[in-house]
Amino acid sequence: MSASFCDSLPAAFTEHPIDCALILGSGWGDALAPEAVHAVVPYDQLPGFGAASVVGHKGELILMTLAGRRVVVFSGRRHYYEGCTMEQVVYPVRLLKALGVKCLLITNAAGGINASFRAGDLMVLTDHLNFTGVNPLRGPHDATWSTRFPDMTRVYDPELSQILLDQGGETMHQGVYVFSPGPSYETPAEIRAYRTLGADAVGMSTVPEAVMAHAGGIRVAALSCITNMAAGLHVAPLVHEEVLAESESAKPRMAALLKAFVAHCP
């Protein structure tokens, strides 16, 4: 498995050890200002992955130096709601494992469910709810990746999460993210139910990658940008343009926080 993954990459990826990795939603990859870019691979050149299809998700794998560290960045992601298989959704995590990556930060755009949240706030994930009924580890057991029934008591690594909390400045929340299947936004009744069940924010990504990484021994932290209040807590109908606009305004803060995370990553 690892051989075929690394075969499709420029040699730069395997020449030196990688310090950490980022899987970035919503155009945040564009906001990074790396000291150097060593290689860029469009997703459609990664066999088994496929081009990103959602507006705002560029679809490039980038090897860069950021904050003096060697970092692999997935700029844009594949989502389950696009009709991708779970294998495609978690392809980045398999590739990162093949590269020997030990620490991963995943970002997403999310709707705020906790009434104290506001658009533009950031939330560090403490845990998640998976309401899609899908699990990336379903299927024949791959004993080289994980045990058959991996523990999920602490998916989100406390030390990595603390870096985000320490470096994030004001309005950094912590909370539970619920993975909603999409692509339609949720109904107000669904949001009330999610809130009753303990969710603070809702989105359509991140959980498959986090489960896969944690099971496979990669330390993971995840960060939501609250781009809107969720259905029923939001006066107007939800539109993707609003999510994109809020993601755009969050870019400078996101870029600074991602860089600080990379700089402090163990």
Q: C-beta of 192: minimal distance to ligand HPA in Å?
A: 14
Other C-beta atoms closer than 10 Å to the C-beta of 124 total: 21
CA distances from residue 138 to 36, 127, 133, 190 in whole angstroms, order as listed: 38, 20, 11, 26
Nearest Cα neighbor of 71 from 101, 44, 91 is: 101
Q: Site residues for ligand HPA, window 60-99 (CB under 6 A)?
A: none
Beta bridge partner(s), residue 23: 74, 106
DSSP for 206-260 reads SHHHHHHHHHTT-EEEEEEEEEEEPTTSSSSPP-HHHHHHHHHHTHHHHHHHHHH
Asked if residue 70 lies in contact with residue 99, where contact means CB atoms within 8 angstroms, the answer is: no
Is 152 known to be catalytic?
A: no
Q: How far apart are CA 51 and CA 263, in angstroms?
A: 30
Give residue 133's region: left, alpha or beta (phi > 0; psi -120 to 50).
left
Task: Provide the minimum distance between the beta carbon of 26 and ligand HPA in the complex, in angstroms, as a whole number.
Answer: 8
Burial of 113 (0-12, 13-18, 19+ CB in 10 A): buried
**Which member of 75, 107, 206, 227 binds ligand HPA (CB under 6 A)?**
227
Amino acid at 103: C
177 is catalytic: no
DSSP label at residue 159: H
Q: C-beta of 127: minimal distance to ligand HPA in Å?
A: 17
CB closer to ligand HPA, 2 vs 187: 187
Binders of ligand HPA among residues 103 to 132 (CB under 6 A) are 109-111
Which CB, 45 or 187, lies closer to ligand HPA? 187
| Count of positions on this chain that bind ligand HPA (CB under 6 A) | 14
Q: Which is nearer to ligand HPA, 75 or 227 (CB)?
A: 227
Contact track, ligand HPA, 146-185, x by CB under 6 A: ----------------------------------x----x
Q: Is there a catalytic annotation at residue 204? A: yes
Q: Which residue has the tokens 């969050």?
A: 250
Site string for ligand HPA, 7-46 (x = CB under 6 A): ----------------------------------------
Asked if 247 is an active-site residue, the reply is no
Which of 61, 73, 202, 211 is in the footprint of ligand HPA by CB under 6 A?
A: 202
The nearer residue to ligand HPA, 27 or 203, going by C-beta atoms, is 203
Is residue 173 part of the annotated active site? The answer reads no
Of the pair 185, 261, the CB lying nearest ligand HPA is at: 185
Give catalytic status of residue 228 as yes or no.
yes
Residue 151, C-beta contacts closer than 8 angstroms, at least 6 positions apart: none
Sites of contact with ligand HPA (CB under 6 A): 109-111, 180, 185-186, 202-204, 227-228, 230, 238, 243
Write out the catalytic residue numbers. 26, 57, 79, 81-82, 109, 204-205, 228, 240
